[in-house]
Chains A and B, each alone.
Chain A
Amino acid sequence: MDIERWLYSLPLRLRSFFRPNQVDQEMKGELREHLEQQISENIRKGMSLEEARRSAVLTIGGIAQIEQQCRDARGGRVLQDFVQDLRYGCRQLRRSPGFSALTVLCLTLGIGANAAVFSWLEGILFRPYPAVAHQERLFAVAGTVQGKRIDGLSWPDFLDLRQDCTLCEDAFVTSITGSTLNIGDHAEVTTGSVVSANYFDALGVHPILGRGFEPGEDVGNGSHPVVVMSYQMWRDRFKGDSQIIGKTQRLNNVQHKIIGVAPQGFYGTFVGRAIQFWVPASMAETFRGGGYKLEDRGARWIESYVRLKPGVSRAQAQQQISAMAARLQTSYPATNRGRGIGIWPLWQTPFNHARTMGPTLEVMVVVVTFVLLIACANVSNLLLVRCFVRRHEMGVRLAIGASRGRLLKQLLTEGLILSALGTAGGFFMAYGCRHLLVMLLPEGRTMYLPGAIDGRVMTMSAGICLLVTLIIGLVPALQTRHLDLAGQLKAESGGVVGVRSRGWIRSGLVIFQVCLSFILLVGAALLLESLQKIRTTSPGFSTTRVAVTGVSLVAAGYDVSRAKTFQNELSDRLIGLPSVESIAFARVTPLGYTGYSSTPIAIDSYQPSRNEQPEVEYNQVSPNYFATLAIPLFSGREFTRSDDENAPLVAIVNRTMVERYWRGQDPIGRRLQVKGRWARVVGVAADSKYESMGETPKPFFYVPLRQDFDPEPDLYIRTTQPLQSTLASVLREVHTLDPNLALYETITLHEQVDRASSPQLLAVTLVSALGGLALLLAAVGLYGVMSYAVAQSTRELGLRMALGAGAADLLRLVMSRGLRLTAGGILFGTVAALALTRLLGQLLYNVSPHDPLVFGSALAVMATTAISACLLPAWRASRTDPARVLRA
C-alpha cells in the first residue's frame, strides 16, 4: 500500500524538487486556464469583459495564496525547506563570525580527537594491514605455556597446524628479523621478515614485479636464497629499476636473488614496523642464527597467523586448535608438555605492538568521547545564549505563521551546518595526526604506527556528526518550547542571578562539563602519578653510564667457535680502553623486545604439587654481567672465564627464586636442574625488572653464556666517559678485529628503561593533553554561563546595590553561584571517577585507582580553574552602576 503510494508520489516529489520552475509554471497555467474559463462563462452570462474579469478574480480568491497552498500541497517541500534553511543558516553564521568560529573550533577539537583515535584504532588494531583482504578473518597464533604465557611456535608445530586445521582457510608464518644491507659502499640496517612460502598467496598480495615465493622454497637449510623486497625499498634504494628481477643482493653476507617487488602500500604484517624485505623460512638460520630450526620442535621462534574460513568463529577454531595442541602434547612430551596454541584477533595480537598500544587506545576511546561530550555541551551552551538573543526573531517568525516544527527544522539545520564544518575540520585534524603516535614514543622514529582514514572511520565520523547535530540542535529547540509569543514581543524582562528558572539547562550543561573534565583530570593525574612511580622505581640494575649494543656476527657468517674467540678478544681489548670500566655479554637485554627463554626446573629439596610443573625464565650472561649492570650479589660469586663449556655447569639465582624454591635458605652449592641437566648454584643475585617495569618480583636465574651459547649476544659497556667518544673507540676496536663487522643500534640502559615505559608515557601525554583541553572547554563553559547570567541580571544587581549591598556582596553572590555549579560537577565527577578509573587497569603502576592524593590534586586544579573562570564575571557584577542600570 505504502509502496504503491510512493510509486505515484516519488516522481512528483523529485520533479518538483529538480524542476521547480516548470512545475510552478504548469500550476500557474492551470489556474490561469481556470480563470479564463470563468471569464468566458461570465461573458456568456452577459457581463462586460471588464466586469467578467473582476467577478472571476473575486470568485476564485487570492491567486498568490492559492498558488502557495498548491506548492505546500505538492511534495519536494522538505528538500526545498532544507535548502532554504541551509542558506539562511549560513547567512546567520556569517553574521556572527566570532560565535561561529568558536563553535566550529570546539566541534573540530571534539570530533577531530574522535576521528584521530578511530583512525589509530583502525590503522593499528582493527585493519593494520591495509593491502590485505578480509582482515576480519585473520587471527594471530602463538604458543601458550600452562594456558598463560605467550611463546612462539616451532616450525614443525606450525606445519601440523596448517595441515590439521580444517576450519582455517590458510596459515602462514612471519618472523621479524633485521639485516644489514650493503648497497654500493654504505651499509644500512633494515627490517625484514622470515616467512613461509605461502605468505603472499595467503594474504592475497601480488607482487607488482616478478613473483612471490613458490611452494618448497621454505624447505631445507639455506637452500633458497631468494628475496622479495618492499615497494619502498625498490623505489628508494634501487631507484625503481624495472630490470631488478633476477639481480642479486647481499643480505647478512649471503647473496640473495631478487625475485619480486611487493605492491605499494604493503608493509608486511607486523604492527609497529614497516617491513622492507621477505625471505623464505629456509633462510631462517642466516637471519636468526642459533642453528637449523625447521626440524626442531623445541625451537619456538615463529609468529604466525591463520585465516579462518568464512563463517567460522574464533571459539570454534580455538576448540579445534586446542584439541590439536593436546594431541601434540601426547605425541611429543619432551618438547610440548604443558604447551598449548592460542589464537587471538588481530587487535589482541600478542607478539607485536598491538599489545602495547591496545590498552592505551582503549582508554583513549573513553577520553575522546568525554571531550566530544564536553565540546557538545559547550556548543549547546553557546547556542542557547544565541537562541536567547534570537528569541525576538523566533517570536516574529511564530507570529507570522511559522509552525514550531518549522523552527525546529531550522535549528537542526543550523546545528548540522556547525557539526558538518566541525567534522570537516576534524578530518583534517585526524589526517594531520596520523603519525602522531610515533612522535610521542621514545623509540618512535624507527616505528611505523599509522592511522588509517578509511570508509569505516568516515562512516563513524559521519555518525558522530549527526549525533552532534541532534545534541546541539535539540537543546535550543527545547528552549523554543518555552517561547511565549506575547512575552517575546514585549520588552525584555530582567533576570535574577539567584533564581534557577529557565537557566536549569544551561546550569545542567555546566555541571555535566565540570563532571566530565574532572573525571579526565583524575585519569590524567593517576597516569602521571603512575609514570612518576615507574620513573622513580629502580629497575634493579644501574641505568647510568651503561650502553647496550651488538656486533653483527651472524650477518658476517661467524660460526660458534669463531664467535667465541671473537667475544674473548673483544672483551680483552675493550677492557684495556681507559674510558671502559667493565663489559659483559648477555643473550637478552632486560625490558627488551626479545623474550627470555624459560625451562622446566627441578630442585632437590622442593617437592612440586601434583599439577605443578615449575618453569622459570633465565638469561645467558658472560662474566662481569652483574658488575657491569650493578646488580647486587647477596652471596656467592659472579661467573668467571673458567665457567666455560668444559667446566661443571653453574647457575646464579635471584632472591625471589630462593624464597620460592629453597624457602629462603642459602642455596649456594645446591643443585638445580636446567633443561634436564644438573647445575650448581654459585650465587644469589638481587631481584630486578626483567620484562616490564610494572611486573612484580618473579623467580629468575642466570647461566654462563659459554655453557648455553648464543652467537650474537648483546654487548654491555660501562663507561667513565661520555657515551659518544667511547663508542667511537669501541667501533675502532671491533674493526681492528674484523673490518667487515658492524655495530647494531646503540642505546643507553636509561633509554631502554624509557622505552619500557613508553605505553605509560604515551597514555600520560595523550590523556593530559585531552584533559587540559577538556578543562579549558569547561572553563569557557562556566565563564560563558556566569557572564551571561550577570549580563542578564544587571537590573537585579543594580537594585541590590541601591538597597545597600556592597561590591563585595555582589562578588560573593556571583562567585557562590559559579562555585555551587562547580561543586555539583565535582561531586558527580568524583562518583563517576571512582567507578571509571578501574578502566586504566594495566596502565597504572603502584597507584590505586582511588588514590586520595590524586583525587585531591584534581580537585584543587578544578577548583582553581573554576574560580578563575568566575572571577571576571563576578568582578563585572561588582562594578554594576546602580544609577545607570535602574534608569535604563
Chain B
Amino acid sequence: MSKPSDLVQGTLDMLILKILALEPLNGWAISQRLKQISSEVLGVSDGSLYPALYKLEQRGWIRAQWKASENNRRAKFYSLTRLGRKQLEKETANWNRVSAAISGIVQLEEA
C-alpha cells in the first residue's frame, strides 16, 4: 500500500486525463481502462486511483456527475472540463519533451 512515487503520480494524473478525454467514465471503468493501457506496468493500484480522482476534481480538471451505469446502477461519472483539456495538452507536451530528452540520453552510445 505504498504511495506511488512522484513520477508515477504525475503520470497517473496525465493518464486519467487522457482516458477521460476519450469519454466520460466511472471509477471502475477508469481502473479497467488503466489496466488495459498500461498492461499493469505502472502498477497503479485501485487504491491510489480514487484519491487522484478527488484531487483532479478539486483542481477543476474533471467534473463528477451521478448517472445510471450500463447495468442500470447509479454511478459517479467523471468527465474532462475545459481546464482539464488545457492541462492535458500542457502535460502531454511536457511529457513528450522530457521523454525525448531522456531517451536521447539513454540511447547515447557508450564510448
Contact = CB atoms under 8 A, between A and B. Distances in A.
Given A60-B46, A66-B47, A66-B50, A34 B31 contact: yes
Interface string A124-160: 0000000000000000000000000000000000000
Nearest to B69: A33
B75 interface: yes
Interface string A638-666: 00000000000000000000000000000
Interface string B34-61: 0000000000011110111011011110
A572 B7 CA distance: 110
Contacts of B50: 27, 30-31, 34, 66, 69-70
A12 interface: yes
Contacts of A59: 45-46
A62 B47 contact: yes
B31 A8 contact: no
Contacts of B83: 1, 4-5, 8
- Residue of A4, A9, A69 with most partner-chain B CB within 10 A: A69
Most chain B beta-carbon neighbours within 10 Å: one of A13, A37, A74: A37
A73 B51 contact: yes
Contacts of B111: none
B28 to A, nearest CB: 4
A38 B51 CA distance: 18
B81 interface: yes
Contacts of B76: 26, 30
A74 B83 CA distance: 18
A708 interface: no
Contact of B60 (A5, A27, A37, A62): A5
A37 B50 CA distance: 15
Interface string A433-470: 00000000000000000000000000000000000000
A4 B58 CA distance: 12
Contacts of A74: 54, 57-58
A74 B50 CA distance: 11
B47 A12 contact: no
B27 A38 contact: no
Nearest to B28: A37
A7 interface: yes
A74 B60 CA distance: 11
B18 interface: no
B82 interface: yes
A8 B81 contact: yes
Nearest to B75: A33
B108 interface: no
Nearest to A13: B58
Interface size class of B (residues with CB under 8 A): 20 to 34
Contacts of B57: 8, 12, 74
B1 interface: yes
A65 interface: yes
Contacts of B1: 61-62, 65
A61 B46 contact: yes
Give chain B's interface secondary structure class.
helix
A9 B60 CA distance: 6
Interface residues of A, number: 29
B45 A60 contact: yes
Interface string A70-90: 101111000000000000000
Interface string A19-37: 0000000110011011001
Nearest to A10: B60
A674 B101 CA distance: 102
A60 B1 CA distance: 9
A607 B75 CA distance: 106
B54 A73 contact: yes
B97 interface: no
A30 B60 contact: no
A73 B3 CA distance: 14
A73 B58 CA distance: 7
B9 to A, nearest CB: 12
A328 B24 CA distance: 85
Contacts of A27: 50, 54
B33 interface: no
A400 B69 CA distance: 41
Interface string B58-76: 1110010000000001011
B108 to A, nearest CB: 39
Contacts of B54: 27, 70, 73-74
Contacts of B73: 33
B27 A30 contact: yes
B23 to A, nearest CB: 18
A5 B47 contact: no
A34 B46 contact: yes
A344 to B, nearest CB: 56
B51 A75 contact: no
Contacts of B58: 9, 12-13, 73-75
B51 A69 contact: yes
A66 B81 CA distance: 25
B63 A8 contact: yes
A79 to B, nearest CB: 14
B60 A7 contact: yes
Nearest to B66: A26
Contacts of A12: 57-58
B47 A61 contact: yes
Given A30-B27, A33-B27, A73-B55, A65 B47 contact: yes
Contacts of B52: 73
A75 to B, nearest CB: 5
A328 B62 CA distance: 77
A38 B26 CA distance: 13
Instruction: Output the residue of B27, B52, B60 with the most chain A CB within 10 A.
Output: B60
A25 to B, nearest CB: 12
B43 to A, nearest CB: 12
A363 to B, nearest CB: 53
Interface string A247-268: 0000000000000000000000
Contacts of B75: 30, 33
A9 to B, nearest CB: 5
Interface string B74-103: 011000011100000000000000000000
A389 to B, nearest CB: 35
Contacts of B47: 60-62, 65-66
A455 B63 CA distance: 43
Nearest to A77: B58
A8 B46 contact: no
Contacts of A65: 1, 47
Interface in A598-650: none
A73 B13 CA distance: 13
Nearest to B27: A34
B60 A8 contact: yes
A9 B45 CA distance: 26
A73 B26 CA distance: 18
B17 to A, nearest CB: 14
Contacts of A66: 47, 50-51
Contacts of A13: 58
B64 to A, nearest CB: 9
A9 B83 CA distance: 12
A4 B52 CA distance: 20
Q: Which 6 A-B pairs have the closest CB atoms?
A: A8-B60, A61-B47, A73-B54, A69-B51, A73-B55, A5-B60
Interface of B: 1, 26-28, 31, 45-48, 50-52, 54-55, 57-60, 63, 73, 75-76, 81-83
Interface of A: 1, 4-9, 12-13, 26-27, 30-31, 33-34, 37-38, 59-62, 65-66, 69-70, 72-75
26 contacts: A5-B60, A8-B59, A8-B60, A8-B63, A9-B60, A13-B58, A30-B27, A30-B76, A31-B50, A33-B27, A33-B28, A34-B31, A34-B46, A34-B50, A37-B28, A59-B45, A62-B47, A65-B47, A66-B50, A69-B51, A70-B51, A72-B51, A73-B52, A73-B55, A74-B57, A75-B58
Given A8-B81, A12-B57, 7 more contacts: A8-B63, A30-B50, A61-B45, A61-B47, A62-B47, A66-B50, A73-B55
